Structure 1
């Protein structure tokens, strides 16, 4: 069995201190084999927010895969044009399209937030080639995981199908909407994490998702926060759809 912790939308700088205080302990207690953070580690990409983000991320279980979100780029600043990813690379991770490999699983993170867009994302031909190499050539039987900030729906992610055809992921992890959900389609399972620590909860409690892979089945356990601490809410089980599972 392989366990993946999926966290998104920290928005440090505009976060709930109680949620941030307990998140790390709850993820550590789950003992994941891989921790994935799908963007928006900061609220406005300010240095003090990145400092907070690095402290929190530094306490999460390793190996750790982190990608950028739209809030991790400066909003109204010259940096948006000349150095949009500079602070992220200095404080969080120098890799914008990181790859992590553990026994039985290959994960690729893609930077889906171009500097010229304010909210919606985009994937490029170059990233499709990277997906083909990192995921398409993963060892036979590996669970292939693609992590990015923008979910492939509602026009948020041009270039999505090109990347899926190239990499053939089994599991896609995303954030951005602040609403946890599990969907199947395009030959893969999409898991969108809810709001981990941000004040932007969209009517749903703070949450993160623990995904376990056992044989040909994904089990997605959503962990929610209330006054008594973190607890297991909805659990969704879906079959692994790719041919690699057969």
Structure 2
């Protein structure tokens, strides 16, 4: 199962060359699923969403997309009254999408409430959605959760509960720095910023994820000297906790 993981595109302050060559790099790999974990825009402006929509349309599908904190208006009254209006209009009306493919069941979560400035939240209803979706999945499916905020540090309320919801793989962004770590039987993969000029410690990057034969392999691709190149490869054994393997 090959999965492409992109995050933090930040159209509006993006690198056009990185964005243009990224589509070809992802397409050449041939993922079964492409996941984009939020911050499609810099300031949630209509023109930025149009650029993001055009970019998403060029990625190999199916594509699972969720919102990030930059996809809500920063200081516009719409943040209070219509916070997801432009995201729904240009990207998707479904803020918590579910994708089912042979071998994988994936749930996307909208982790940015309008009343928080930057950090995220997983609601009880979203936890219930993840648990019920995974309970109905074939037993051998890869169970995947995608959201913008990683479940460590202080960036996500209820992140610990989410890690107990049964996911094999959790994909996030937000930090602009790639990271891979096993947490409570879940492999957490944080993608760097794919096309933004707002880099932190690493250049623009995206992650190739291959899961199979009890192992998850993450290959980080960095944009260096005008091209996408492999920078790091990490292998993590898949070890779903016993309570997640037992039928409910």
- After TM superposition, the score normalised by the length of structure 2 is 0.96
Deviation larger for 197-206 or 143-152: 197-206
**Equivalent in the alignment of 1:26:** 25
Q: 1: distance between equivalents of 2:191 and 2:245?
A: 24
Deviations 1:101-139 (A, max 9, x none): 111110000000000011100011111110111123311
Alpha-carbon deviation of 1:159?
1.4
Q: Distance in 2 between matches of 1:31 and 1:245?
A: 30
Partner of 2:178: 180
Q: C-alpha separation between the residues in 2 aligned to 1:135 and 1:37?
A: 20
- 1:57 maps to which residue? 56
Cα offset, 1:161, TM superposition: 2.5
Task: Please give the alpha-carbon distance, in whole angstroms, between the structure 1 residues aligned to 2:20 and 2:40.
Answer: 15
Partners of 1:7 and 1:228 lie apart in 2 by 18
Alignment pair present for 1:208 and 2:190: no
Distance 1:128 1:215 in 2: 28
Matched, 1:48 2:63: no
Q: Could you tell me whether the CA contact under 8 Å between 1:8 and 1:175 is conserved in 2?
A: yes
Q: CA deviation at 1:245?
A: 8.0
Give secondary structure in 2 for the equivalent of 1:58. helix
1:168 paired with 2:162, answer: no
Where does residue 35 of structure 1 map in the other structure? 34
Mapped to 2, the partners of 1:202 and 1:245 lie a distance apart of 38
* Pairs within 5 Å for 1:166-245: 167-242=165-240, 243=242
Change (3 A) 1:213 1:245: farther
Give the corresponding residue for 1:15.
14
Alignment root-mean-square deviation, CA: 1.3
Q: What stretches of structure 1 of length at least 5 have no aligned partner?
A: none
Offset of 1:228 from its aligned partner?
Answer: 4.4
State whether residues 18 and 226 of structure 2, in contact with CA within 8 Å, keep that contact through their aligned partners in structure 1. Answer: no
The answer to whether 1:101 aligns with 2:130 is no
Secondary structure in structure 2 of the residue aligned to 1:219: strand
Deviation string for 1:196-235 (max 9, x for gaps)? 0011111311110000012100000001111241111100
**1:67 aligns to what?**
66
Q: Where does the alignment leave 5 or more consecutive residues of structure 2 unmatched?
A: none
Alignment of 1:77-156 (within 5 A): 77-156=76-155
Give the Å deviation of 1:162.
2.4
Residue 143 of structure 1 deviates from its aligned partner by 0.5
Contact 1:68 1:96 in 2 (8 A): yes
Secondary structure, counterpart of 1:139 in structure 2: coil
Instruction: Give me the TM-score of the superposition, normalised by structure 1.
Output: 0.96
Residue-pair matches, total: 244
